[in-house]
Structure formats: C-alpha cells, structure tokens
C-alpha cells in the first residue's frame, strides 16, 4: 500500500475503510504501522511502528539521520509513504495537510519556518489562522504567560530574534493553532541551557491543557526527563521502546547515548 | 519659462508613473507571493487590451461603452491569470527554471493567439493597431482618471493584503510557504487568488495603456513603453515583491523617462533606455531594491 502526500492515494481501500469505521483505539491519537518512507533510493523509515495515546509526551530519540524528522513530516502530511499512519483513526494521506491542522495536529518544525519579516504578534495571530477571535486571544495570553520573553518582544521581527527566542515563538505559534497533538521536532537543538530550561518548563502547562505531545530529540537526557514513553530510532527503525525508567536501565542506551 | 517646463514635465511624470505603477503591480504580486517571475505578464496586459477592444468594437454586434471595456479587460485578465495558474503553474510550482521558461512560452502563445484572432476572426486590418478608446474625452481628463483609479486600486490592494484575513495569508505564503502550511493556510488557494488578482490588474492596465497610447497591439508587451520590460525594471528598483517598492519604482522610472524626453538633447530616442539604465544601475549597486521584499510592504 502506498500513499502520496497530496492524497492521491493508491491506498488499500479495504484496510483504510476498516480503520475509518473502527476509529482505532478510543485513546489513540497517532498510530504508525509498518511505516516506510524513501527519498528516491534512500530509505528513511523502514517499517516503523509508533503509537501515541491521549495526554502522553512521547519522544523519538536517536542520532542524526535516524528518521525522526521524516516521521514528523510524514505524520503531518508533508511526505508520501508506504504502510500506514493514522491520526485519530484516519489515514493522514487521505485527510490532507490543511485539514490535519484543522483537526488539531500542529507541527512545530526543526527549521521553525517562522514568518521572518513579521513581528511576534503577527506570527502568533497567523498561528491561529483557523481559529476564531476568542480562541486566538485566549491562546495568545497563554503563550505570553508561557514565554514572557515573547511578551517583551511583541513588536520585534522574528528574523531578528535569537535562536532560543525563535524557538519559543515557533512553539507559541504552534500552540495558537489549538493543538490536540503537538509535534515538536528537535525543539532544543543548538539552544543554550538556560533557554532549554524555559522550554522544558513550558511542557507541563501544555500537557495540562490536554495537549498530546510528540517530541523528537537528539538530546537523550532531555527526552528521558520529560517523556512518558520513548522510542529509540536508528536507521529508520525503532530499536528500543519503553518508559524512561526502562530505557535508563538498558545497557545499550547507557553505553551509546548516556556516556556509560 | 524653464520653471514652467519643469512643472509641466512633473505633472506629466506623475500621471505616467501612475499608469506604470498599475502596469507593474501584478508582476510584483506574483513574485512576492510565489517567487515567480511571470514573463507572461505582458501577455496578460495584452489580453486585457484585446478584451477591451472586443467589448468596445462591434465585434459582437454591439459596441459597448469604454466602462464595459474596462470591466471586460479586468475580467479577462483575471481569467487568464487563474487559468494559467490552475492549468500549468501549480503543477510546476517547485521548479523555478521550468516556470520561467513556461511563462515565456505561455506569453508567446497568448499574444500569437491574439494576433491571429484579431486579424482572422475579428477582421482587424492591422494587429499592430487594435483600436481601444481612452476612458475620458480628453487626454488630460484621461490622465487624471488613470491617476485617481491607479492610487485607488493600489490602495485597495494594499488594504486587502495587509488588513484582511486572506491578505494576511498572502503575506504569510510570501514569507514562508511551509510556515503557512503549518498554520493551516491552503497555499494552493492563496496562489490562485494571487494570480487572479494580478491578472485582473494586468487586464485593467491593458485597457488603460491602449487607450492612453491611442491603440493596442498584439506586440504591446514589448513595444514602447514595453510593459513587460517596464514591470521588470520597476520591481527591481522597488525591491522584488514589495508593493510600496513597485510604486516607488514606477515613479522613479516615470520621472526619469519624462525628464529624459523633455530635457536631454535627443531625449525622445532615449525614453525607453532610461529605465534600462536604472535597471542595470540598481542590479549592480542595490540589487535588493529600495524596499527589499515582502508582498504587502
């Protein structure tokens, strides 16, 4: 079975139909089964299985090139794939990228993809493009409470901000979309420890608002501290899965990712 | 005496520049949003002119007044913009070189179709001189009309882009295609709107341009004042993708041309050259243009 990002699918209709009708497990937010993604001849994901349930913070960890970003981009409808990835029981290739956002899957990319020539306020307001005015105001207040630095820089252009501030803005913009599932792709990459702390502290209030989080990280320590469950990806495959406690006790993880 | 000449030239330049601004605005809009240099822009202008001709001539039994011609030109421009995007551009959006070549080819197809249509279907004796009336009775009033509507329409466009929800989405797409997709903006829809609006402006400009210069021509996109080349020069001066920049660019070129014609010995021969000289100078000295980038700015 294969599907394109734009929804021109030669999906196995029977299987997709079953899934739609069944709606998946009631508390399953995102589910990937035997997910395969290739860039030309290069295979990025090789039969990946991932399940994320309501209210969890699930982290995908692994080295550069493990397939973490590819998974995020596939789940949010930017890439075609083989196998299956379902959001709230619906095959994402059939939903379409814009509708996924409408349905509450909001992706904060590794590159941030901010509107660089717009100020903080405009970036946030556009983050709520599909929301009504009341939600926008409520969310904006929440974001400014979460990241007071953004509040201080409301009229500053995104491109003139530091990397850490841009990251806060990217997360803030994603929150404006009233997410049900928030995909945070490498939010701590290249950030100073003090900023990292700010972002870490933001996670709990986000989850408290009923948001499920998919967090990809190269910073294994960060993931172990904040995730409920973790998948270790290597070469496009999940080679370990478990709670942080389980993985901390895993010899391979300790030796390869936690410096022994 | 000299002061009087300068005053007259200034008024002429102000009027001419308004026409130039409206000629270039669609070109800058499409570049600003999609990063596309639309070399079919001149052909869109020609389509507007030809629709204006069809409406105001007796080609379809009744010769309608020029107001209907303006409407027809605007509608035809919008239609050709939308069809070009939906039929071709959206399939090659991520391939800038392909788009560049395709817009050239589309432009040629359109103007040759107009040439054949004018001569063989609608019986125009000379497709280099397709009659389109000016809007107002006198040249001066016509200039005033162009000036007023140019500012009005560009003001409306500026308001639309900066203060409406769809307009904000246009700016968002112009700054980050993927960022726009991430917040749920349908880039496809926004691009279609942009091409339609740009086409409408081009069509409207085509009718005005033909009226102001006496008549239209199937080759008008490259005949003086050569709106395609003019648009290119204007947006380079102003900053590719900037509406404010395009207006500034139009006025700089309008003034440069008018003053060259009026005050440089043999200037009449150099009218079109001054915009090209400015184009080269800006490309060398200030390639980002006066206002940098940003569709709405």
Domain with B205 in it: what CATH number?
1.10.3470
Q: Is A135 part of a structural domain of the chain?
A: no
- C-beta atoms of A129 and B181 within 8 A: no
Query: Cβ of A165 under 8 Å from any chain B Cβ?
Result: no
Q: What is the pLDDT of residue B296?
A: 52
- For chain A, the domain total comes to 1
A17 or B103, which is more confident? B103
Q: What is the pLDDT of residue A258?
A: 84
Residue-number span of the structural domain to which B69 is assigned: 2-285
Integer Cα distance of B278 and A233 in angstroms: 56
Q: What is the pLDDT of residue A26?
A: 47
Q: Is A110 part of a structural domain of the chain?
A: no
- Is the confidence at residue A27, as pLDDT, over 90? no
pLDDT in tens, A209-248: 999 999 999 999 999 999 999 999 999 999 999 999 999 9
Largest CA distance in chain B: 62
Residue-number span of the structural domain to which A252 is assigned: 2-104+215-257
Q: What is the pLDDT of residue B109?
A: 96
The interface predicted TM-score (ipTM) is: 0.88
Residue A42: strand pairing partners = A39
**Beta-carbon contacts of residue B226 (< 8 Å; ≥ 6 apart):** B42, B272
Three-class SS state of B56: helix
pLDDT in tens, A78-91: 999 999 999 999 99
Q: What is the pLDDT of residue A3?
A: 52
Q: What is the pLDDT of residue A260?
A: 65
Q: Is B102 part of a structural domain of the chain?
A: yes
Judge contact between A67 and A36, C-beta under 8 A. no
Judge contact between A30 and A213, C-beta under 8 A. no
Whole-number average pLDDT of chain B: 91
Q: Which of B169, B178, B184 sits opposite A113 (nearest CB)?
A: B178
For residue A49, what is the domain's CATH number? Answer: 3.40.50.300
pLDDT in tens, B84-120: 999 999 999 889 899 999 999 999 999 999 999 998 8
- Mean pLDDT over residues A39-59, rounded? 95
B202 or A10, which is more confident? B202
pTM comes to: 0.86
Indicate the range of A97-106, B123-132, B177-186, B267-276 predicted with least confidence: B267-276
Q: Is B247 part of a structural domain of the chain?
A: yes
Nearest residue in chain A measured CA to CA from B169 = A126
Whole-number average pLDDT of chain A: 90
Q: Is B126 part of a structural domain of the chain?
A: yes
- The full length of chain B comes to 297
Q: What is the pLDDT of residue B224?
A: 82
Q: What is the pLDDT of residue A22?
A: 47
- For chain B, the domain total comes to 1
- Is the confidence at residue A12, as pLDDT, over 60? no
- The full length of chain A comes to 260
Q: Is A78 part of a structural domain of the chain?
A: yes
What residues 82-101 of chain A have any CB closer than 8 A to a CB of chain B?
A: 97-98, 101
Query: Cβ of A174 under 8 Å from any chain B Cβ?
Result: yes
- Is the confidence at residue B58, as pLDDT, over 90? no
Q: Is B291 part of a structural domain of the chain?
A: no
Q: Is A52 part of a structural domain of the chain?
A: yes
Q: Is B290 part of a structural domain of the chain?
A: no
CA distance A206 to chain B (A): 18
Q: Is A160 part of a structural domain of the chain?
A: no
- Is the confidence at residue A11, as pLDDT, over 50? no
């Amino acid at each position: 079975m294969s599907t394109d990002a734009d929804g021109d699918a030669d999906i196995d209709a029977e299987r997709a139909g079953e899934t739609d009708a069944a709606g998946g497990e009631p508390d399953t937010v995102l589910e990937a089964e035997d997910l395969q993604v290739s860039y030309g001849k290069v295979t990025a994901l090789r039969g990946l299985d991932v399940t994320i349930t309501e209210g969890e913070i699930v982290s995908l960890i692994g080295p550069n090139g493990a397939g973490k970003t590819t998974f995020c981009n596939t789940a949010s409808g930017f890439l075609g794939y083989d196998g299956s990835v379902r959001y709230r029981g619906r095959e994402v290739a059939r939903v379409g990228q814009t509708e996924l956002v409408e349905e509450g899957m909001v992706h904060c990319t590794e590159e941030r993809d901010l509107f660089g020539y717009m100020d903080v306020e405009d970036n946030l307001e556009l983050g709520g493009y599909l929301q009504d005015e009341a939600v926008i105001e409520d969310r904006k207040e929440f974001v400014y409470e979460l990241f007071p630095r953004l509040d201080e820089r409301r009229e500053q252009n995104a491109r003139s901000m530091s990397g850490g501030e841009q990251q806060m803005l990217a997360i803030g913009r994603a929150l404006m979309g009233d997410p049900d599932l928030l995909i945070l792709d490498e939010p701590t990459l290249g950030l100073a420890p003090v900023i990292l702390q700010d972002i870490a502290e933001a996670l709990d209030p986000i989850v408290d608002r009923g948001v499920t989080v998919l967090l990809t990280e190269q910073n294994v320590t960060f993931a172990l501290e904040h995730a409920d469950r973790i998948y270790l990806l290597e070469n496009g495959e999940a080679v370990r899965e478990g709670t942080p406690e389980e993985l901390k006790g895993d010899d391979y993880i300790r030796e390869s990712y936690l410096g022994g | 005496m000299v002061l009087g000449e300068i005053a007259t030239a200034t008024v002429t330049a102000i009027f001419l520049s308004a026409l130039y601004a409206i000629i270039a605005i669609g070109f800058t809009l499409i570049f600003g949003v999609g990063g596309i240099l639309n070399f079919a822009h001149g052909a869109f202008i020609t389509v507007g002119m030809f629709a204006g001709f069809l409406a105001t001539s007796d080609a379809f039994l009744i010769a309608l007044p020029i107001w209907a011609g303006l409407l027809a030109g605007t509608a035809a421009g919008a239609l050709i913009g939308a069809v070009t995007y939906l039929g071709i551009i959206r399939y090659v959006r991520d391939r800038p070189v392909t788009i560049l070549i395709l817009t050239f080819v589309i432009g040629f197809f359109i103007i040759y179709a107009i040439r054949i249509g004018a001569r063989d279907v609608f019986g125009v004796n000379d497709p280099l001189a397709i009659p389109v009336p000016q809007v107002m009775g006198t040249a001066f009033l016509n200039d005033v009309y162009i000036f007023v509507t140019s500012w009005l329409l560009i003001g409306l466009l500026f308001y639309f882009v900066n203060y409406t929800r769809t307009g904000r989405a246009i700016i968002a797409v112009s700054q980050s295609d993927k960022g726009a997709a991430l917040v749920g903006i349908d880039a496809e829809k926004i691009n279609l709107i942009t091409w339609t609006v740009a086409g409408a402006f081009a069509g409207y400009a085509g009718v005005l341009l033909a009226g102001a210069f006496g008549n239209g021509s199937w080759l008008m996109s490259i005949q003086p004042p050569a709106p395609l080349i003019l648009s290119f020069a204007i947006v380079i001066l102003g900053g590719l993708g900037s509406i404010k920049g395009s207006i500034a660019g139009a006025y700089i070129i309008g003034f440069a041309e008018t003053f060259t014609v009026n005050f440089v010995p043999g200037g009449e021969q150099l009218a079109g050259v001054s915009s090209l000289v400015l184009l080269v100078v800006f490309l060398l000295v200030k390639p980002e243009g006066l206002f940098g980038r940003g569709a709405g700015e």
